[in-house]
């Protein structure tokens, strides 16, 4: 396949400013094309991206160069029994009784503490004062780590996400990511050894003591998973909360509907994941030549799957460029499972293991923010804009509100 001459360049400033216009062009005129700068095939249509996530012929070998240098080898790179066992080891902490009894109080406390910092002021930047810190603080507390290290983890998280989205291969960004791997390992490995010797009632201890069919996680496995949790769990929730409020503030009628009926929060989250997802692209590598809807991807090639485009494919969603929390073609009952209609948590065997944790954080965070911010509106003169290419969300979201009693 040759390069499509008129296809939008995903590394261009124009794409960074407005990927959605580029997605519309790709979906109709260039649904599969070779992108020289990233040495990958770009695919955008829903049916093709969904297949790349579900069909086992599409491997995650790309993570050997994309993630492993900064995380170590993670569950995302595994397949077969190895993957099934590792997922069985970590999944129980992120669902059901374990999530509800152990970690919902952690989420509640962190939401309250951050909101207490501005609830009486009548103003806040929902990105800098809340969303950017909330999920990282929750993860640190779930792991039972020192709360005084929240800021340190925030720095590591930023460097890891920078490495992941470094499509232009900036050497300083790459160096910061590699340095973070060393620093995080030096911090985490001694603590992991301590928890093995004296487990507590925290997620890190649960990971240290978990065993399935005689298999346990090594110290390096646990460290790599914690690094992955920091990045994947932090980035999706961080940007989702900011994006939910940006979308609702730009649609005041829907904001008031959600304020009046908090059971709509999960639907607002699901629609935000579709309309303005935190992660806009994920890579895969086919193990053999694969025929997609409009062309062939050769074995071993990198396939860049544009989630942000697929979630707005008019072949799959009605009025795809319209934000609508009442959307009928995006059922909430499946939106946080491997049967989701949006593609923002991927699908199949690598569906996001932390989806229910993210849902709990968003439901609690958005609910408490709405309680604390009556008559909330975008601050005068502010024009919140999304930033990012690989991951994307509002860089800033200044608001004004009437302080609650």
pLDDT digits (tens, 9 = 90+) for 131-158: 999 999 999 999 999 989 888 888 888 8
Contact 260, 109 (CB under 8 A): no
Amino acid 125: pLDDT: 98
Where residue 313 falls among pLDDT bands split at 50, 70, 90? very high
pLDDT digits (tens, 9 = 90+) for 75-134: 777 777 777 777 777 777 777 777 777 889 999 999 999 999 999 999 999 999 999 999
Classify domain 13-400 at the CATH topology level.
Cytochrome p450 (1.10.630)
pLDDT digits (tens, 9 = 90+) for 191-223: 999 999 999 989 999 889 888 888 888 999 999
Enter the pTM of the model. 0.92
Q: Give every CB contact of residue 52 below 8 A, 6+ residues apart in sequence.
A: 43, 58, 284, 303, 305
Integer Cα distance of 157 and 147 in angstroms = 15
Q: Where are the domains of the chain?
A: 13-400
Q: How many CB atoms lie within 10 A of CB 233?
A: 24
Token pair of 382 as six digits: 């502010």
Beta strands at 32-35 and 295-297: parallel, antiparallel or unpaired: unpaired
């Amino acid at each position: 396949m040759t390069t499509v001459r008129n296809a939008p360049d995903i590394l261009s400033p124009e794409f960074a400013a407005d990927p959605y216009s580029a997605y519309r062009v790709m979906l109709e005129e260039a649904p599969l094309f070779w992108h020289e700068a990233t040495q990958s095939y770009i695919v955008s249509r829903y049916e093709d991206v969904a297949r790349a996530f579900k069909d086992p012929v599409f491997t995650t070998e790309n993570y050997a160069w994309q993630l492993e240098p900064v995380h170590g080898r993670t569950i995302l790179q595994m397949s077969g029994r190895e993957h099934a066992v590792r997922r069985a080891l970590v999944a129980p902490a992120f669902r059901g009784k374990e999530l509800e009894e152990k970690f919902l109080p952690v989420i509640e406390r962190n939401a309250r503490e951050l909101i207490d910092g501005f609830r009486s002021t009548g103003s806040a930047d929902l990105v800098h004062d809340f969303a950017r810190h909330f999920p990282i603080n929750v993860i640190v507390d779930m792991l039972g780590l020192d709360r005084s290290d929240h800021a340190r983890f925030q720095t590591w998280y930023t460097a890891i996400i920078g490495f992941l989205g470094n499509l232009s291969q900036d050497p300083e960004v790459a160096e910061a990511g590699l340095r973070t791997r060393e620093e995080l390992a030096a911090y985490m490995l001694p603590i992991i050894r301590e928890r093995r010797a004296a487990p507590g009632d925290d997620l890190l201890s649960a990971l240290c003591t978990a065993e399935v069919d005689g298999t346990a996680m090594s110290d390096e496995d646990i460290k790599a998973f914690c690094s992955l949790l920091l990045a994947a769990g932090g980035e999706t929730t961080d940007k989702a909360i900011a994006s939910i409020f940006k979308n609702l503030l730009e649609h005041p009628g829907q904001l008031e509907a959600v304020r009046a009926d908090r059971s709509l929060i999960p639907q607002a989250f699901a629609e935000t994941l579709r309309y303005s997802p935190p992660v806009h692209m994920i890579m895969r590598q086919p193990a053999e030549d694969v025929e997609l809807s409009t062309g062939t991807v050769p074995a071993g090639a990198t396939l860049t799957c544009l989630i942000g485009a697929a979630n707005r494919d008019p072949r799959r969603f009605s009025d795809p460029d319209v934000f609508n929390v009442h959307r009928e073609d995006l059922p909430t009952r499946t939106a946080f499972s491997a049967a989701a209609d949006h593609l923002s948590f991927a699908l199949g065997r690598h569906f996001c293991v932390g989806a229910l944790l993210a849902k709990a954080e968003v439901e609690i965070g958005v609910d408490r923010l709405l309680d604390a911010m009556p008559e909330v509106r975008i601050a005068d003169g502010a024009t919140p804009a999304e930033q990012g290419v690989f991951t994307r969300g509002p860089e800033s979201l200044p608001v004004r509100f009437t302080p609650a009693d």
